[in-house]
């Protein structure tokens, strides 16, 4: 029978029945649930110890039932603990060691405050750590000792179950049988790794429900046998289980009942003839574990009475509704008799009853349904998270993690809890690990930003300085490093508006010009759409010049790059990359085309970067070309240039399940930066996500960088400093973080 996770009766089972009888049954069920919440709830207990179809005299090792001790942790005083533990090893585990493990789990559980699932996680982790530390050394080192556990916690009418390894639970109700088999945890038993695999279940119980916790993964009883146990006394249940068992098994069988409140744990037997199979004292005939109902506040009691009265009224009306429906149509057409119900009353009843049923169901949903829905989706999210841990490939693992986050979003729609927040944190960290994402703590370099309303269009960085091109104000700013922080250079003389230099129009890009440059020291070069250049350096007066336009004029300058004494200008509109050589630091003279004979299609190119003697060209679709320009000299033809290009280089990922791609996977790059040796790399900015992709020069994926907290403003551009300090512009601010490769 497939594993099921049951969140309890949902709103649909109450307000969307197939017929009137189903409505009555649904309301009966809900009445029983509400009755449980106000009465003492306990469990009769019987231990299973079957060998060769007969019950054993000795109690089963590793099986435990316990009420809360006197000094339990906060929130544990009403919890009832049931557990079954088993070990798989080349060497047989002693009964004493099994009993020690299950008692350790109980002690840790009752000593851990907080939610039930958090305490269950702690007790299972404690057993796992104990096995890792103290497990016996088998003869076959490939088959170490591994543990299997099934733990159930009863808190009032809530049943919580945690499964690890090869153990199973069977919940028998009057309308169905649910088997929790170890399909997902059997491959990850306790004692084989530092992180135990745990699967959680949550149910609301009714009086008469039967729960069995059994070691092993075998199917021990047929569905017909299990179905026939519903409604039987626990002694009769034991008789049938022993008679129908063809294999050895150990475990515990519980039947949930309502009785006068008392705290005790005893052992039960099916008949006096088998008393010695479950307890050495023949007089010990039954056992129960109960919790006590705490008195509620007065307004809660009044509210409960009103709800119960409304539900009783609705039940009475719905019970007679089927009879009304049989007479409604004839009654509306016939003349009413003295003893008959009037047609108007029938019509009114047909309108009022559905509204009343919906109102009662909505009230019950608001009181209990939201919690049930949260538990359902949260349990499914935990199952998806466990499936992610066991996925054989990275893509499958990632798909399961994404599914778990989606289920967690559904659960949070019914109220965010600490358990869901903790699981979300774990899932996001796991997803970052799968995607090789590094979340970095970026810090702003200038408090308050560079200028009100600034739009940072380009960045350039040296060892000590950061230069910022503000497209809104058509200005260039300088921030210098004090060794511990950055400060704004208020005396830096450079571009400060369109009127600063004759012919300046709209800024395009900004790059560093190494010493001696145009002004005798290291500085920057900025360019506008018409080829006007501005040269700036700290402590020097700025200078300006005009690039010689090509014969056809400028199309649209998109980006520039400076290497040594050459300026490279990308003009996609004219399908060209121009080279200007420097004279005295100023880029003058006529341009030459980078491409000599065959020119690739550059119409969608958005950025360029020189890496040693190779030119990388980035395109809008995320593809990249690599070109090499060499000089050839011969006596016959003199000096000539030859350009060889490899188009649409393949982005590669050495992880399993990631095929090569001719476009940047999982991102749309807007700019590119080359990082020189000792570890040369290429970095790409995805402005939409605000992330940086890191690739080796062979275009092998190295990882991705994101902020620890979301960016406060949209990201516009980025650059790398000589020491691999990463600078990213968002809004009017620049953020930095040391980048260790």
Contact indicator for 210, 176 with CB cutoff of 8 Å? no
CA 654 to chain centre: 24
Domains of the chain: 41-276 (3.60.40.10), 302-435 (no CATH), 440-738 (2.120.10.30)
The per-residue pLDDT for 279 is 32
Residue 434 has pLDDT above 80, yes or no: yes
Most trustworthy range by pLDDT among 126-135, 329-338, 438-447: 438-447
Q: Which two tokens stand for residue 286?
A: 């039954």
DSSP state at residue 385: H
* CA-closest candidate to residue 741, choices 729, 726, 728, 727: 726
The per-residue pLDDT for 74 is 85
CA distance 457 to 476: 10
The per-residue pLDDT for 294 is 40
* CA-closest candidate to residue 547, choices 509, 516, 514: 509
- What is the rounded average pLDDT of the residues 659-684? 93
Kindly report, residue by residue over 160-199, the tens digit of the pLDDT.
999 998 889 999 988 788 888 877 677 788 888 877 888 8
Kindly report, residue by residue over 76-118, the tens digit of the pLDDT.
888 899 999 988 876 666 788 888 899 999 999 999 988 888 8
The per-residue pLDDT for 12 is 31
Residue 43 has pLDDT above 90, yes or no: no
Most trustworthy range by pLDDT among 62-66, 220-224, 247-251: 62-66
Rg (CA), the chain: 38
Residue 31 has pLDDT above 70, yes or no: no
The per-residue pLDDT for 445 is 95
729 vs 147: which has the higher pLDDT: 729
239 vs 735: which has the higher pLDDT: 735
DSSP state at residue 661: B
Per-residue confidence at 355, pLDDT binned at 50, 70, 90?
Answer: confident
- What is the rounded average pLDDT of the residues 497-504? 90
Residue with tokens 């560079």, as numbered in its chain = 450
Sheet holding 725-730, edge to edge: 443-444, 733-738, 725-730, 715-720
The per-residue pLDDT for 491 is 92
* CA-closest candidate to residue 241, choices 207, 212, 278: 212
The per-residue pLDDT for 364 is 59
Most trustworthy range by pLDDT among 108-122, 332-346, 701-715: 701-715
The per-residue pLDDT for 536 is 95
Per-residue confidence at 343, pLDDT binned at 50, 70, 90?
Answer: low
Residue 221 has pLDDT above 70, yes or no: yes
The per-residue pLDDT for 259 is 63
Count CB-CB contacts under 10 A for residue 16: 12
The per-residue pLDDT for 144 is 66
Kindly report, residue by residue over 262-318, the tens digit of the pLDDT.
444 444 433 333 333 333 333 333 344 444 444 333 333 334 444 455 555 555 555
Torsion sign (Cα): 320, 322, 325, 326: negative
Residue with tokens 């007066």, as numbered in its chain = 541
CA distance 131 to 145: 8
């Amino acid at each position: 029978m497939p594993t099921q996770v049951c969140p309890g009766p949902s709103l649909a089972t109450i307000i969307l029945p197939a017929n009137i009888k189903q409505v009555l049954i649904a309301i009966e069920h809900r009445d029983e649930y509400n009755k449980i919440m106000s009465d003492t709830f306990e469990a009769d207990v019987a231990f299973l110890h079957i060998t060769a179809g007969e019950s054993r005299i000795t109690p089963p090792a590793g099986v435990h039932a316990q009420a809360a001790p006197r000094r339990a942790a906060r929130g544990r005083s009403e919890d009832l603990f049931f557990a079954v533990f088993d070990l798989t090893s080349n060497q047989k585990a002693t009964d004493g060691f099994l009993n020690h493990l299950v008692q350790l789990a109980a002690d840790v559980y009752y000593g851990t405050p907080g939610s039930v699932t958090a305490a269950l996680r702690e007790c299972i982790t404690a057993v796992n750590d104990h096995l890792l530390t103290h497990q016996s050394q088998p003869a076959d080192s490939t088959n170490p000792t591994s543990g299997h556990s099934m733990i159930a916690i009863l808190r009032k009418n809530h049943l919580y179950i945690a499964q690890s390894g090869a153990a199973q639970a069977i919940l028998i109700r009057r309308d169905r049988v649910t088997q929790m088999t170890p399909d997902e945890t059997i491959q990850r038993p306790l004692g084989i790794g530092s992180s135990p695999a745990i699967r959680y279940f949550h149910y609301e119980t009714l009086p008469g429900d039967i729960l069995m916790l059994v070691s092993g993964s075998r199917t021990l009883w047929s569905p017909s046998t299990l179905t026939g146990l519903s409604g039987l006394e626990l002694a009769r249940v034991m008789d049938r289980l022993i008679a129908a068992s063809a294999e050895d098994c150990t475990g515990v069988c519980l039947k949930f009942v309502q009785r006068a409140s008392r705290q005790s744990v005893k052992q039960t037997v099916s008949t006096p003839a088998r008393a010695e199979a479950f307890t050495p004292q023949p007089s010990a005939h039954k056992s129960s574990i109960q919790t006590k109902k705490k008195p509620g506040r007065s307004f809660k009691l009044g509210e409960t009475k009103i709800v119960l009265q409304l539900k009783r009224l609705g039940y009475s009306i719905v019970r007679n509704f089927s009879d009304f429906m049989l007479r409604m149509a004839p009654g509306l057409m016939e003349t009413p008799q003295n003893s008959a119900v009037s047609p108007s009353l029938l019509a009114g009843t047909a309108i009022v009853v559905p509204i009343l049923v919906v109102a009662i169901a909505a009230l019950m949903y608001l009181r209990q349904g939201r919690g049930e829905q949260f538990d359902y989706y949260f349990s499914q999210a935990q199952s998806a998270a466990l499936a992610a841990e066991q996925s054989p490939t990275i893509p499958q693992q990632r798909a399961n993690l994404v599914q778990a986050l989606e289920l967690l979003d559904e659960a949070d729609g019914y109220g965010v809890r600490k358990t869901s927040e903790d699981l979300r944190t774990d899932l996001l960290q796991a997803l970052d690990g799968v995607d090789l994402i590094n979340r970095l703590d970026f810090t702003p370099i200038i408090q308050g930003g560079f200028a009100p309303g600034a739009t940072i269009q380009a960045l350039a960085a040296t060892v000590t300085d950061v230069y910022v091109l503000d497209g809104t104000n058509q200005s260039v700013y300088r921030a210098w490093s004090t060794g511990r922080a950055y400060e704004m250079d208020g005396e830096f003389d450079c571009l400060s508006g369109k009127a600063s230099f004759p012919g300046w129009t709209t800024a395009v890009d900004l790059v560093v010009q190494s010493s001696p440059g145009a002004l005798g020291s290291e500085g920057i070069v900025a360019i506008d759409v018409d080829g006007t250049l501005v040269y700036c350096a700290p402590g020097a007066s700025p200078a300006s010049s005009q690039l010689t336009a090509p014969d056809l004029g400028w199309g649209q300058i998109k980006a520039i790059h400076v290497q040594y004494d050459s300026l490279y200008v990308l003009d996609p509109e004219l399908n060209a990359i121009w080279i200007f050589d420097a004279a005295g630091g100023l880029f003058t003279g006529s341009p030459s085309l980078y491409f000599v004979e065959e020119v690739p299609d550059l119409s969608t190119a958005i950025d360029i970067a020189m890496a040693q003697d190779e030119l990388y060209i980035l395109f809008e679709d995320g593809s990249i070309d690599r070109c090499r320009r060499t000089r050839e000299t011969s006596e016959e033809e003199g000096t000539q240039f030859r350009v060889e290009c490899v188009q649409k280089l393949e982005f590669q990922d050495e992880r399993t399940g990631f095929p090569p791609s001719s476009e940047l996977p999982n991102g749309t790059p807007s700019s590119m930066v080359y990082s020189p040796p000792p570890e040369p790399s290429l970095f790409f900015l995805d402005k939409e996500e605000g992330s940086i992709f890191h690739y080796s020069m062979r275009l092998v994926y190295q990882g991705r960088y994101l902020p620890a907290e979301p960016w406060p403003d949209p990201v516009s551009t980025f650059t790398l400093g000589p020491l691999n300090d990463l600078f990213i512009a968002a809004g009017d601010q620049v953020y930095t973080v040391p980048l260790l490769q």
